[in-house]
Structure 1
Amino acid sequence: MAAASCLPLLVLPVLALLAAAAAGAATVSDDVLALVVLKSGLSDPAGRLAPWSEDADRACTWPGVTCDARTGRVAALELPAASLAGRLPRSALLRLDALLSFALPGNRLSGPLPDALPPRLRALDLSGNAISGGIPASLASVESLVSLNLSRNGLTGPIPDGIWSLPSLRSVDLSGNMLSGSVPGGFPRSSSLRVVDLSRNLLEGEIPADVGEAGLLKLLDLGHNSFTGGLPESLRGLSGLSSLGAGGNALSGELPAWIGEMGALETLDLSGNHFVGEIPDAISGCKNLVEVDLSRNMLTGELRWWVFGLPLQRASFAGNALSGWIKVPSDAAVALEALDLSSNAFTGAIPPEIATFARLKYLNLSLNSMSEHFPASIGQMSLLEVLDVSANKLDGGVPPEIGGGGNVILFSFFFLIICRDLSHNKLTGPIPMSMGNLTSLQTVNLSENMLNGTLPMELSDLVNLRVFNVSHNLLSGVLPISRFFDSIPYSFISDNAGLCSSQKNSSCNGVMPKPIVFNPNSSSNPLSDAAPSYTGNQHQKKMILSISTLIAIVGGAVIVIGVVTITALNRRARATASRSALPIALSDDYHSQSAESPENEAKSGKLVMFGRGSSDFSTDGHALLNKDCELGRGGFGTVYKAVLRDGQPVAIKKLTVSSLVKSEDEFKQHVKLLCKVRHHNIVTLRGFYWTSSLQLLIYEFMPAGSLHQHLHECSEESSLSWMERFDIIIGVARALVYLHRHGIIHFNLKSSNVLLDTNGEPRVGDYGLVNLLPMLDRYVLSSKIQSALGYMAPEFTCRTVNVTEKCDVYSFGVLILEILTGRRPVEYLEDDLVVLSDLVRGADEEDRLEDCMDPRLSGELSMDEATLIIKLGLVCTSQVPSQRPDMAEVIGMLEMVRSPQGTPEDDLV
């Protein structure tokens, strides 16, 4: 009786009813009993199951329940996004032996999948929950199953061998889990299969050779796994396949010409692999192709003519080594809405014929070697929303046609440009007044050019402006008067001849260098760069002004002239140095403080690049570094941006712990191990360079910057949304799960090491470098590598405690708090130091977590949801390592609180 008294009150009558039913004395139907048992094991905060009562004769009127009209038995149980939590009891499901459809997507269900299901079940949808464990092999015995959707859970382990043997199976979606191992073959037995989505897992090995023998496939998505090898030739037989996705893997070889035989293909995604060679013209046989993504491979040759001849709407070839002129045929199709040719080696002029694409909304030609004048014809593209031609060699002025000339009404109404990036070219002359006509303009980047003159006052009309970066030019005069320009970050206008805001005080503090002032009452150095005091007595102020005004004006003029002269000489010197670098073509994409001048190497090392047959390029490692292309500095070293001679942009880390690095053999062995890391949320290591005094690591380049920049250096209007932040949290968690499964401790996780790709997806970098050192010297690592105070687990200060994966969990917890609060892990005040985890923990204890939330998320953030994630961050930052969850458990918790990402398709049921 003591044990029974501990049971929930609701369970006691249910158990009694079940016992009576088993004895043949049931007073209600088995379906009612089964559903009440199911309810007893679930948490129902929204009260959706309140009408479910054991006192009812039938369940057909209950929410989510549908009965067969003939038999009265429960045929469907469908409760999407009902906030249900808990585990699914096996006994309840088995008792619903007439159930045909069981759909509880977008809830918070946890625990393992039941190892037995109703025998007549045709549709099972448990997507978007927090279900963990493996997929039971018994699932392959439910021969009536037509549709299976277990996506976006925390499932692990292999895919059951017999799953393709189910005779009626038409749709399988297992995406967004952590399934591992190889994909079982046996596709020829799946005569009814239409949809297979295995994307975003940890699957590896080669794609099954017989996958193409499931002849009725319409959609096949294997993207963002770790598949190797090439595309199996059996795919050419899928004449009805409309969507093929295999991006984000490690596939290699040349693109097969037989892709052109897949006449029904509408979407082709092979991005983020290691495909080489030219793009075959035979792909033009796909007459229905609407979207193609071949970005981030190693493709060479010219852009194929069919890109402009098919009914393509979206095409991306970014991040390859395509070269030559971009040729637009006279009879080109005009269906294109998005074209991304960035990060290649295209030369010549931007073809003015590009303006014939009247539907084009997105055009990215950045990071190429295109030259000559910017074509005025682009001003005719009335639907263009994003234009990025940064990091080319364009010269001349910004054409006035870019804003529609003088026809302000027409282009204020029709010209809806959202983002315009002309940075890192050789543009000269003034910024045209007509840019003020683009009233929907949000982002402008004209940095690193040679623009001069003043900013047009018409820019004040750009009420939607979020970013206006004109740094590193020759501009002068006052800024336009508007809410945006009154609070513009200094980094957007730095390194100009004399930009100044009329809304600031007369010294233009924070915009121009402070004037030199001689203070006759100062006993210190007569040359002071401090701003004059306006709080002293009036007589002293007048004396300072009268004595120093003339000197300040003359001195300021000399400084300005000197700055302009030195800037011009530096630009010329950089251009000369860039042209002289034979093995490397450097793209001057970032400006930062000068890096240390490299010492001359007595012996040249070897640059080893992975992927293209492990080809080695002999070169001087210092030629890879350009101090003007410094991206940032961290505990392990300085990071530079460079463009290799094949046109590929890369990020190069120059290690500054050379004296601690292991021997050359151990270094190369460990680096080659890291190069095998392949995950869609991890930055790929592409190569390395070694000499005894210089070690370089070459990574793929992430153009969208770091999470740190987006959290702490962006304006309120351009900050990350809540859903974007949530996706980043989950992406980083998946990256750590992958690293930990492969025995790699990141150790240096922080927001500056979380980078964003062109799609806004998080990519974790700087992983596994601690293993390059001969031993874990606590002082060196804590002061040099863990340079961002606040991320380091407390046990690391104890020499007797081993560094484990729980150190990464602690850093991840701090990252969660940083993302939700928008505050740095440690903030330094005048006489105090605020540690973020302590601050949030105190707010939690005082029940005022809402005060900690980033105000930029106001209006889009559910506090119930935010509180759960904040508490997860606090659990991860527990002082005792054993009290922190592992990262697989973290994924399950995050999925449990994630909002539904959409309603699954059920038209195949």
Structure 2
Amino acid sequence: MMGFILSVSYFLLSVVTLLDCNGGSGVSAQLNDDVLGLIVFKLDLYDPFSSLASWNEDDDNPCTWRFVQCNPVTGRVNGVLLDGLGLSGKIGRGLEKLQYLKVLSLSHNNITGSISPALALTDKSLERLNLSHNSFSGVIPTSLVNMSSIRFLDFSENLLSGPVPDNLFDNCFSLHYLSLAGNMFEGPIPSTLSRCSLLNGLNISSNHFSGNPEFLNGIWSKKRLRTLDLSNNAFSGSVPDGISALHHLKEILLQDNQFSGPLPTDIGFCLHLKRLDFGDNLFIGALPESLQRLSSLTFLRVSNNMLTGEFPEWISKMNSLEYIELSSNGFTGTLPSSIGNLKSLNYLSLSNNKLTGNIPMSLVSCTRLSVIRLRGNIFGGSIPEGLFGLGLEEVDISHNELKDSIPLGSSKLFETLLTLDLSKNNLQGNIPAEMGLLSNLRYLNLSWNNLQSRMPPKLGFLLNLTVIDLRNTALYGSIPGDICDSGSLRILQLDGNLLNGSIPEDIGNCTSLSLLSLSHNNLSGPIPKSMSKLNKLQILKLEFNELSGEIPQELGRLENLLAANISYNQLTGRLPDGSIFPELDKSSLQGNLGLCSPLLLGPCKMNVPKPLVLDPYAYNNQMGDHRRRNESSIPSKSHHHTFLGISAIISILAALLIIFGIIVISILNVSARRKLMFVENALESMCTSSSGSRSPSRGKFILFDSQSSSDWISNPESLLNKASEIGEGVFGTVYKISLGSEGRTLAIKRLVTSNVIQYLEDFDREVRVLGKARHPNLIALKGYYWTPEMQLLVTEYETNGSLQTQLHERLPSTPPLSWGNRFKILMGIAKGLAYLHHSFGSPIIHYSIKPSNILLDENFNPKISDFGLTRLLRKMDKHVMSNRFQSALGYVAPELACQSLRVNEKCDIYGFGVMILELVTGRRPVEYGEDNVVILTDHVKVLLEQGNVLDCVDPSMSEYPEDEVLPVLKLAMVCTSQIPSSRPSMSEVVQILQVIKAPIPHSMEVF
């Protein structure tokens, strides 16, 4: 029906156009032009909230319609304002009938397609065109050159690309404001822009514009210009002088480019300037002295350049300054006491320079100051008295040479302070007890000082505190039991102090902890069982203490634990069976003489000794039992004997003979079983051949969680006949099937038969190893079916399909993945891989991390599939291997192509890094164009080096936090390093992602 209406409307539009061309027009026909044009325009749009319901084609005129404005004298439409209505679709031809349209505003919708050249047909009257915050793509049509009446033009935050037509501004004599920000335009700025003599606002930020800033010479001639934003592009070269001609300029933003040379010396003659941002460039030299003339300037940022010279004393004359950011340069000298004259100052950042001297007492006069960052300088002396009397929100004076004590805080500071970092100084004296009154404090770092103090009391009362870092501060006394009363603490680091006593049982209240580090102290007593309640704990460091007793077996419940170190204590007994403890290496265990581990030499002390019994009927444990028995029977070396007794020698020889006999018998048993199976198969084959018809193979169908696992299926094909095929990969074909009377839905993978393990016992053993891999982010293996001719694996079935489908094959009606879901998917995959790499005796390496092997449940939680299949297909032939690499093009780590390199879990980390890029950009790892091939890793690397990496973010994501996306992209670059040893472990990846999701100041220092 809609298609019929659309056809009729276009027919009527053509008829009316034809009548106009032949002179057949009347008053009613002219009025109906507006109705017809808007109805045809509406038909190309999808209106989810029925905002345009009042637009009725039966009305005589549209002046009563919502969001439509008419001239009260002529009754003709002069304004269409549809901002923020959630519209989608495209711009059709209807608007060309609105001959008196002055304002067209469609911002903050989701309209797609290219910008219609028909918009230029309204050029006789259109004054304001706003298409910002949509999804328009393609290039700017050259027909817009004729829009001589346009005053306001905003194409920002779309997907427009290509160069801007050089003649676009040939007739821009009326243009007052132009914004092309947030697109993908490239190339130089059109030279015709200098003809826009009335321009007062220009914003071309966040594009790929490049070239030398020669066009600025033309910009400097625009006497009316008030705002200029060229930020986040790729401009290079020196900024020319001449900016002083812009007498009305209020805002100039050039940050995040590659501008070099000195700052323009005449910048200070733009006397109305309020905001100046030249940060993140390559500027050199000193700050121009003309800046001191800018009495109206409120925002000054030149951070992350290569500026030098002494910190200017005249900056204190700029009385309107509220924000000063001069960090990461090479400024020297002292901070003048006149800095206190800046009464409006709210933000002061001078970090990572070479400033010396004392922090001036006059800063206390800056009563509006909320953020002070002086990190990484050479400031000495003491922290000014009274500074902590201000209503500060963040104080970072770390990495200096400050001494004396920490000042007492005021009641005002207790209510406002969020971050306090005084680390890596020479501070002394007690930690003020008032620390416990900082009710909003989130981050506390006093590490690497010489405070020689007890821990401040009542820290557990701070409900928002997430990080406590008091490493190497000469703390003494015991750990207070109430330190975790708030329940919000994520990181607790007390390493390298003089703490004694036991670890409080109340440590179990720290349920939010992800990092607990108490190493290099004098702690004694047992490890409390309550630590098993820390189900979010990922890193545990208890080394170099005097802890004793057995490690509580309950710690094996810590499923998220990725790293632990308990070395150099007095611990005894066996390690917990679960979590990461069975896989700890020697360096994490050594120094505990009574600890039971095959990695450690010396005696093993158990509180309850358990006798070792040799079971001659055991199938799998014969070797291990005899080995343990033999080890326990060998006497320790004595300091008073230089040779063994005859009885000891006889015992050793007897034990060796027993072990040798068991090995021989085991080998013979295995050989006999395999020969028997071969004979049985041969006899069955002979009987089948002689009968002239083949009988169905018999095999065992086992479900691990079912009591009916011993059922026999006479015909394996019948199982798959009832199933529906849902996918095919290198390892086999996947089917969906419902089993049992309850209709339980499962997935079944029929493995390729090439070089599969040929013996049921071996296959059963390997599958059960994989079946023990239980993790929320792994597809659970439910069972298997085995015959020599057919092998099936039974797994969970997930309703949302694969990540491949969600990223690259979704239907238009399916909404794109949000950033929240994408990050959830990344975190889940990382945790699943970390479990595979770190939770087994030998790591389970996936070898094929790619979106088609990531399944999603109903809540978009990821489940890794196909893990460990290389254990079942140990000797895949060249054809299968070749197909495997071709199907994973772009994900395969470079070392897999070199047989001489040792392949390990770093291969999975490379594939995970590629998947990060794919999730963030929405692009495939390798894309083929007409003339070139785009490798995603190389593409993102170039953008990252250019400072434009956010340009590659998937445009289908309407919103995303830049402070999460940028570090995630950097993590991907580290994971895809060409050198395997340079890639992090998956446990480190998980920790990094945790920090990215909940950022903390200077988070990299807490490890």
Scaled by the length of structure 2, what TM-score is found?
0.51
CA shift for structure 1 position 48: 2.8
Q: What is the SS of the residue equivalent to 1:138?
A: helix
CA shift for structure 1 position 170: 0.8
* Aligned 8 A contact 1:141 1:166 in 2: no
Q: How does 1:858-877 map to 2 (within 5 A)?
A: 869=920, 872=923, 874-875=925-926
Find the aligned partners of 2:458 and 2:347 in 1 and give their Cα distance: 30
Query: Quick check: 1:894 aligned with 2:953?
Result: yes
Query: Quick check: 1:429 aligned with 2:483?
Result: no
Q: What is the SS of the residue equivalent to 1:504?
A: helix
Find the aligned partners of 1:501 and 1:425 in 2 and give their Cα distance: 30
Q: What is the SS of the residue equivalent to 2:475?
A: strand
Give the counterpart letter for 2:538 in structure 1. P
Higher mean C-alpha deviation, range 245-254 or range 366-375: 366-375
Q: How does 1:527-542 map to 2 (within 5 A)?
A: none
Structure 2 residue aligned with 1:88, among 140, 155, 176?
140
Q: What is the SS of the residue equivalent to 2:94?
A: coil
Find the aligned partners of 1:26 and 1:245 in 2 and give their Cα distance: 63
Match of 1:317 in 2: 374
CA shift for structure 1 position 181: 1.0
Q: Which runs of 5+ in 1 are unaligned?
A: 1-8, 404-410, 556-714, 717-814, 856-863, 904-909
CA shift for structure 1 position 152: 1.7
Find the aligned partners of 2:330 and 2:195 in 1 and give their Cα distance: 38
Higher mean C-alpha deviation, range 482-491 or range 417-426: 482-491
* Aligned 8 A contact 2:511 2:534 in 1: no
Find the aligned partners of 1:22 and 1:535 in 2 and give their Cα distance: 105
Query: Quick check: 1:478 aligned with 2:527?
Result: yes
Query: Which has the greater radius of gyration?
Result: 2
Query: Quick check: 1:100 aligned with 2:142?
Result: no
CA shift for structure 1 position 34: 13
Q: Summarize the Cα distance change of 1:76–1:438 in structure 2 as closer, same or farther, 3 Å threshold.
A: same
Match of 1:233 in 2: 289
Q: Summarize the Cα distance change of 1:79–1:219 in structure 2 as closer, same or farther, 3 Å threshold.
A: same
Match of 2:256 in 1: 200
Give the counterpart letter for 1:402 in structure 2. L
Q: What is the SS of the residue equivalent to 1:307?
A: helix
Find the aligned partners of 1:444 and 1:418 in 2 and give their Cα distance: 8
Match of 2:128 in 1: 76
Find the aligned partners of 1:273 and 1:845 in 2 and give their Cα distance: 48
CA shift for structure 1 position 335: 2.3
Match of 1:686 in 2: none
CA shift for structure 1 position 289: 0.8
Give the counterpart letter for 1:324 in structure 2. G
- Cα shift readout 1:366-421 (whole Å, capped 9, x = no counterpart): 11121233222222322322211012122232132434xxxxxxx36xx5323221
CA shift for structure 1 position 479: 3.5
Find the aligned partners of 1:36 and 1:226 in 2 and give their Cα distance: 54
CA shift for structure 1 position 276: 0.5
Match of 1:340 in 2: 396
Query: Quick check: 1:504 aligned with 2:555?
Result: yes
Q: What is the SS of the residue equivalent to 1:131?
A: strand
Find the aligned partners of 1:100 and 1:834 in 2 and give their Cα distance: 59
CA shift for structure 1 position 893: 3.4
Query: Quick check: 1:57 aligned with 2:65?
Result: no
* Aligned 8 A contact 1:479 1:502 in 2: no
* Aligned 8 A contact 1:840 1:849 in 2: no
Q: Summarize the Cα distance change of 1:185–1:36 in structure 2 as closer, same or farther, 3 Å threshold.
A: farther
Q: What is the SS of the residue equivalent to 1:212?
A: helix
Match of 2:651 in 1: none
Find the aligned partners of 1:195 and 1:493 in 2 and give their Cα distance: 54
Match of 1:706 in 2: none
Q: Summarize the Cα distance change of 1:484–1:291 in structure 2 as closer, same or farther, 3 Å threshold.
A: farther
* Aligned 8 A contact 2:104 2:129 in 1: no
Give the counterpart letter for 1:431 in structure 2. I
Find the aligned partners of 2:502 and 2:473 in 1 and give their Cα distance: 19
Match of 1:127 in 2: 181
Q: What is the SS of the residue equivalent to 2:428?
A: strand
Match of 2:331 in 1: 275
Q: Summarize the Cα distance change of 1:848–1:440 in structure 2 as closer, same or farther, 3 Å threshold.
A: closer
Q: Summarize the Cα distance change of 1:209–1:35 in structure 2 as closer, same or farther, 3 Å threshold.
A: farther
Q: How does 1:361-440 map to 2 (within 5 A)?
A: 361-403=418-460, 411=461, 415-440=463-488
Higher mean C-alpha deviation, range 305-314 or range 25-34: 25-34
CA shift for structure 1 position 242: 0.5
* Aligned 8 A contact 2:107 2:132 in 1: no
Q: Summarize the Cα distance change of 1:112–1:485 in structure 2 as closer, same or farther, 3 Å threshold.
A: same
Structure 2 residue aligned with 1:839, among 849, 856, 872?
849
CA shift for structure 1 position 430: 1.0
* Aligned 8 A contact 1:429 1:450 in 2: yes
Match of 1:586 in 2: none
Match of 1:469 in 2: 517
* Aligned 8 A contact 2:417 2:441 in 1: yes
CA shift for structure 1 position 131: 1.9
Structure 1 residue aligned with 2:199, among 145, 162, 179?
145
Q: Summarize the Cα distance change of 1:875–1:882 in structure 2 as closer, same or farther, 3 Å threshold.
A: closer
Find the aligned partners of 1:213 and 1:21 in 2 and give their Cα distance: 60
CA shift for structure 1 position 223: 0.6
Structure 1 residue aligned with 2:356, among 300, 318, 326?
300
Query: Quick check: 1:111 aligned with 2:121?
Result: no
Find the aligned partners of 1:148 and 1:101 in 2 and give their Cα distance: 11
* Aligned 8 A contact 2:102 2:127 in 1: no
* Aligned 8 A contact 1:175 1:198 in 2: yes
Higher mean C-alpha deviation, range 319-328 or range 480-489: 480-489
Find the aligned partners of 1:464 and 1:26 in 2 and give their Cα distance: 78
Q: How does 1:598-613 map to 2 (within 5 A)?
A: none
Q: What is the SS of the residue equivalent to 1:400?
A: coil
* Aligned 8 A contact 2:372 2:395 in 1: yes
Find the aligned partners of 2:458 and 2:857 in 1 and give their Cα distance: 57
Cα RMSD, aligned residues only = 5.6
* Aligned 8 A contact 2:927 2:935 in 1: yes
CA shift for structure 1 position 257: 0.7
Q: Summarize the Cα distance change of 1:834–1:284 in structure 2 as closer, same or farther, 3 Å threshold.
A: same
Structure 1 residue aligned with 2:489, among 441, 445, 448?
441
CA shift for structure 1 position 26: 13
Q: Summarize the Cα distance change of 1:56–1:451 in structure 2 as closer, same or farther, 3 Å threshold.
A: same
Q: Summarize the Cα distance change of 1:536–1:867 in structure 2 as closer, same or farther, 3 Å threshold.
A: farther
- Cα shift readout 1:50-72 (whole Å, capped 9, x = no counterpart): 464337632679761899xx999
CA shift for structure 1 position 875: 2.3
Match of 2:786 in 1: none
Structure 1 residue aligned with 2:245, among 179, 189, 196?
189
CA shift for structure 1 position 892: 4.5
Find the aligned partners of 1:517 and 1:269 in 2 and give their Cα distance: 57
Aligned residues: 606
Give the counterpart letter for 1:507 in structure 2. R
Scaled by the length of structure 1, what TM-score is found?
0.56
Match of 1:154 in 2: 208
Match of 1:266 in 2: 322
Higher mean C-alpha deviation, range 246-255 or range 435-444: 435-444
* Aligned 8 A contact 2:103 2:127 in 1: no
* Aligned 8 A contact 1:153 1:895 in 2: no
Q: Summarize the Cα distance change of 1:189–1:24 in structure 2 as closer, same or farther, 3 Å threshold.
A: farther
* Aligned 8 A contact 1:156 1:179 in 2: yes
- Aligned sequence identity (%): 27
Find the aligned partners of 1:37 and 1:156 in 2 and give their Cα distance: 40
Find the aligned partners of 2:19 and 2:141 in 1 and give their Cα distance: 18
CA shift for structure 1 position 49: 4.5
Find the aligned partners of 1:551 and 1:400 in 2 and give their Cα distance: 53
Find the aligned partners of 1:536 and 1:551 in 2 and give their Cα distance: 10
- Cα shift readout 1:292-330 (whole Å, capped 9, x = no counterpart): 10001000111111222212111110010111222314x
Q: What is the SS of the residue equivalent to 1:244?
A: strand
Find the aligned partners of 1:893 and 1:429 in 2 and give their Cα distance: 53
* Aligned 8 A contact 1:171 1:195 in 2: yes
* Aligned 8 A contact 2:102 2:128 in 1: no
